Amino acid sequence: NAGVMQNPRHLVRRRGQEARLRCSPMKGHSHVYWYRQLPEEGLKFMVYLQKENIIDESGMPKERFSAEFPKEGPSILRIQQVVRGDSAAYFCASSPRQGIGDTDTQYFGPGTRLTVL
Amino acid sequence: LAKTTQPISMDSYEGQEVNITCSHNNIATNDYITWYQQFPSQGPRFIIQGYKTKVTNEVASLFIPADRKSSTLSLPRVSLSDTAVYYCLVAGYALNFGKGTSLLVTP
């Protein structure tokens, strides 16, 4: 059973360009989470999605960032008009379910390291 | 979200047992306690999860007292490859990793 897949592993963009990060969850997992890790910091929650639904985007910046998890295909984190402060490692995690009032184990991908020049 | 407090760093020699304690005084009734390990340039790796008492797997043990206000991750006989950052999390799905505990294992 392959783990969580993320691509690309490294992405370089110039200021003002768009960045698209892809995440394929583990087989059988229908819940996807995106996190951002700045240098020397811990991961910070950004957004939680199920197929075709955004469940919680409370950690997403209000502008330029969006996420989707279509019925078919990977989840996409999209950053428009990137700025240098967007440079970070972006991690995706997946879980098979999310019960009410409990925590289901999240399995993380290897991350995408975004560098904005 | 329940706030967690854990030591910034710990040092150990190979072969020793390492115990990392995490405080979570305002843990909610429904919260589970989860520990992750992260190596540089990699995503966090799940180690162990528990709700109360003791949980053991092939990698570690997790001790949780009755009041659940703290928990201790126990790594038996650490090796050099256990050098990593260890995170204690108490939450629902929106995991917010603090700075974790940076464990350095030396020969």
A48 touches chain B (CB under 8 A): yes
Residue range B47-78, pLDDT digits in tens: 999 999 899 999 999 999 999 999 999 999 99
Return residues 10-29 of B near A (CB < 8 Å): none
Cβ neighbours around A41 below 10 Å, total: 13
Mean pLDDT within B17-22: 97
**What is the dihedral sign for C-alpha B96, B8, B6, A96?**
positive
Q: Which pLDDT value is given to residue B29?
A: 87
* Three-state secondary structure of chain A: CCCCEEECCEEEECCCCCEEEEEECCCCCCEEEEEEECCCCCCEEEEEEECCEEEECCCCCCCCEEEECCCCCCEEEEECCCCHHHCEEEEEEEECCCCCCCCCCCEECCCEEEEEC
Q: Measured between CB atoms, which of A56, A104, A108 is closest to B43? A: A108
Question: At which residue do the structure tokens 């305002």 appear?
Answer: B26
Strand partners, B70: B23
CB–CB contact A102 B32 (8 Å): yes
- Distance in angstroms (rounded) separating the CA atoms of residues B59 and B75: 7
Helix (H), strand (E) at residue B11: strand B9-13
pLDDT value at A102 more than 70: no
Q: Which pLDDT value is given to residue A101?
A: 43
Q: Which pLDDT value is given to residue A100?
A: 47
Is B29 or B72 the better-scoring residue by pLDDT?
Answer: B72
A56 touches chain B (CB under 8 A): yes
